[in-house]
Amino acid sequence: MTWESFIYFAIVAVVLWATGAWAAWKDKKTIAYGTTIAGLLVFFGYIVAMWVSLERPPLRTMGETRLWYSLFLPLAGIIVYSRWRYKWILSFSTLMALVFIAINIFKPEIHSKTLMPALQSPWFAPHVIVYMMAYALLGASALMAIYLLFFKKKEPTEQEYEITDNLVYAGLAFLTIGMLFGALWAKEAWGHYWSWDPKETWAAITWLAYLVYVHYRLMPRHRKPIALATLIVAFVLLQVCWWGINYLPSAQGSSVHTYGTESTQ
């Protein structure tokens, strides 16, 4: 399997997801589940095939991590849909997955087959996959916040706040586990579980920012729009942690998380 065949798998998956999104609007639940899951299987099939042909997990480059992100967005979407029956969530998740697929088609950061010794570890796959899941869930929560703050004309309902909270709790759970898996891996790889490497510093910032949201929401008599705004700020900080760090002067040359010009994690 190569990147040349990506577009075919992507088109099939997106068509299936879009069908699922349409079916959700029309309240045709069986079709919504069936097509969304079929799309996930097609897309996951491509990832597995890439894994096999690369002879390593496709997690090293930005392009490869975007693959997982495109997979996890509809996955998070269908989980939310199954729990709270939110009609539009599948449209949102499909659209977001499409954005990341489009980036991979038009700006593919092509990828060599090699995996450097520092990344050859049983921790590699769980660390990055768990983080990608966290990013997808927290991305969905940020979209909810933007929708409720700027686009919804009426007052948001309690149920909408509850969904946002649940996305954040699930995302924060993954974020915590991803960060701590990273710490356990760092001990095996670099001799210390936490070295305040720029990536680690920004991981701590992101984590704390989501803790602010969670605690603020639990505080009696808080202001809900402020809580939603916190989510947007937190997601911006998460972007710095994920890829923005590659452009930060303070992190140049000092981050052990940079693996060549195409970096990940």
Partner 1 sequence: MSKSFSLFDGFMIGGGIIVAGLLLQFTSGGVVWDALAWPANAIVLAVFIAIIIAIYLLGRKFDALRFLGTYKAAIPAMIYAVILTIIMGLTKQTVDGTWLNNMLAFWPLVLIYMYIAVILGIITIKHTIKFRWKRDIPFLLNHLGLFIALVAATLGNADMQRMKMITAVDQPEWRVMTNNNDIQELNIAIELKKFIMETYDDGSPKRFASKINIYTKSGKSFTATVDVNKPAEVDGWKIYQYGYDTQMGAMSNISILELVRDPWLPVVYTGIFMMIAGAVTLFFIGAGRRKKS
Question: Closest by alpha carbon to 231, among 161, 182, 127, 181?
Answer: 161
Question: Which is nearer to partner 1, 42 or 241 (by Cβ)?
Answer: 241
Question: Which one of residues 116, 150, 151, 153 is an interface residue with partner 1 (CB under 8 A)?
Answer: 116
Say which amino acid occupies 171.
G
Question: Which one of residues 40, 136, 170, 228 is an interface residue with partner 1 (CB under 8 A)?
Answer: 170
Residue 249 sits in the site that holds partner 1 (CB under 8 A): yes
* Whole-angstrom distance, CA of residue 37 vs CA of residue 122: 28
**Contact code string over 69-88 relative to partner 1, x by CB under 8 A:** --------------------
Contact region with partner 1 (CB under 8 A), list: 16-24, 32-40, 59-67, 118-126: 118-126
Question: Which is nearer to partner 1, 38 or 165 (by Cβ)?
Answer: 165
Residue 105 sits in the site that holds partner 1 (CB under 8 A): no
- Residue 25 neighbours by CB under 8 Å, 6+ apart: 87, 88, 91
Residue 180 sits in the site that holds partner 1 (CB under 8 A): yes
Question: Which is nearer to partner 1, 7 or 248 (by Cβ)?
Answer: 248
Residue 201 sits in the site that holds partner 1 (CB under 8 A): yes
Question: Quick one: tokens of 153?
Answer: 């004309």
Question: Which one of residues 22, 37, 169, 229 is an interface residue with partner 1 (CB under 8 A)?
Answer: 169
Residue 49 sits in the site that holds partner 1 (CB under 8 A): no
Contact region with partner 1 (CB under 8 A), list: 25-33, 70-78, 101-109, 161-169: 161-169
Instruction: Identify residues 202-231 at the interface with partner 1 (CB under 8 A).
Output: 202, 204-205, 208-209, 211-212, 215-220
- Residue 198 neighbours by CB under 8 Å, 6+ apart: 245, 248, 250, 251, 254, 255, 257
Question: Quick one: tokens of 224?
Answer: 């809900």
Instruction: Give the binding site for partner 1 (CB under 8 A).
Output: 112-114, 116-118, 120-121, 162, 165-166, 168-170, 172-174, 176-177, 180, 183-184, 187-194, 196, 198, 201-202, 204-205, 208-209, 211-212, 215-220, 237, 240, 248-251, 254
